[in-house]
Structure 1
Amino acid sequence: MAKKAKTEAEIAQFRDSVCAAATRLFIERGPQNVTMRQIASEVGVSPMTPYRYFRDKDEILAIVRAEAFNRFSEALENAVANAPDARSKGRAVGDAYVNFAKTFPSAYQLIFAFAQQDEEQYPELVTANARAQKAMVNYVEEMIAAGLLEGDAQLIGYMFWATLHGIVVLELASGLRGMNGQTLREKIMRTLYAGMKVHPPHLDD
């Protein structure tokens, strides 16, 4: 008797299960040390079953990284949208960034700890990556338009991004011994704003 074909909902559920299992293994072992056979074993299916739904391990990695990028971008976009005014956007993005990294460390690691060769082969990942880049620049453009900052929006956005990432990585690795991450962040941001000769937006709130 032929096996009943899976419904679309069942296929989606299985794909989600594979992606969740793969994410655990990627984080624990690093993508280079994970095989499709190991992913199948983690899900509890035969070694060839995942190949019915995914081309290979790299496709799975691209899918889970794209999902992580989109969650990250959504957090930043919501922070900007809910900020009461242009002056508040920088602080809102910084808070959302740090909160995301601490609340979803696995997603944050998928975004920044793992790179893939030939990422252009995965349009979903390319789009999600571009969305994150945009999220880290758009709010700066709004602050420039409001007269709160001066300079190149992308460069300023990346300066802030590099600062936040460095602090987050040190905090997650318990590297800020004797220093509060929030205090460090505010001091660095104040210095950056002063260097651009503008008034720091709500750093004392």
Structure 2
Amino acid sequence: MAKKAKTEEEIALFRESVCEAAIKLFIDRGPQNVTMRQIASEVGVSPMTPYRYFRDKDEILATVRAAAFNRFSTALETAVANAPDARSKGRAVGDAYVDFAKTYPSAYQLIFSLPQQDEEQYPELVAANARAQKAMVNYVEEMIAAGLLEGDAQLIGYMFWATLHGIVVLDLASGLRGMDGTTLREKIMRTLYAGMKVQPPHLDD
């Protein structure tokens, strides 16, 4: 008797189980040290089974990174949407960024610590990456439109992004000995806003 074909739901659940197993291996060992056979073993299936659902290890990495990017973007977009006014958006994004990194450290590592070659071969990952780039710039555009900032939105957004990323990485690695991460973020942001000769947006709220 022919084996019954899996339903779309069953396929999605299996792909998810493969991705969850791969994430642990990617983070523990680094993608370059992980094989499809090891992923299959972690899931508890035959070595060839994952190939029925993914072309190769790189496609799995692209899939889990795209999901991480989208979760990250959703967190930032929700924070911006819920901010009561334009002046609150900068603080809202900063809080959401740090909260995401601390709540989902594995996803944060997938985004920023596990890059891959030939990313353009994976449209889903390219789109998710672009969404994250926009999430770190769109709120700055809104603040500029409200007259709270002046300058190039992308440059300013990336300045803030670099600051947040640096603080998060140091904080997660226990590198901020003797310094509170929130205090450091507020002081740096105040300095950046002062350099742009604008009033800091609700940094003390």
TM-score by length of 2: 0.99
- CA distance in structure 2 between the partners assigned to 1:87 and 1:169 by the alignment: 26
Matching residue of 1:180: 180
Matching residue of 1:80: 80
- CA distance in structure 2 between the partners assigned to 1:129 and 1:6 by the alignment: 31
Displacement of 1:58 after TM fit? 0.1
SS of 2:5's partner is coil
- CA distance in structure 2 between the partners assigned to 1:20 and 1:33 by the alignment: 17
1:1-205 matched pairs, under 5 angstroms: 1-205=1-205
Q: Mind listing any 5+ residue stretches in structure 1 that lack a counterpart?
A: none
Compute the RMSD of aligned alpha carbons.
Answer: 0.4
Q: Mind listing any 5+ residue stretches in structure 2 that lack a counterpart?
A: none
**Identity of paired residues, percent?**
90
- CA distance in structure 1 between the partners assigned to 2:6 and 2:142 by the alignment: 48
Question: Structure 1 stretches (4+) deviating beyond 2 angstroms?
Answer: none
Q: Which amino acid aligns with 2:128?
A: A
- CA distance in structure 1 between the partners assigned to 2:149 and 2:7 by the alignment: 53
Displacement of 1:204 after TM fit? 1.1
Displacement of 1:7 after TM fit? 1.0
SS of 1:138's partner is helix
Displacement of 1:185 after TM fit? 0.2
Q: Deviations over 1:171-190 (max 9, x none)?
A: 00000000000000000000
- CA distance in structure 2 between the partners assigned to 1:5 and 1:162 by the alignment: 48
- CA distance in structure 2 between the partners assigned to 1:121 and 1:31 by the alignment: 17
Displacement of 1:153 after TM fit? 0.2
Displacement of 1:16 after TM fit? 0.4
- CA distance in structure 1 between the partners assigned to 2:180 and 2:190 by the alignment: 16
Displacement of 1:170 after TM fit? 0.2
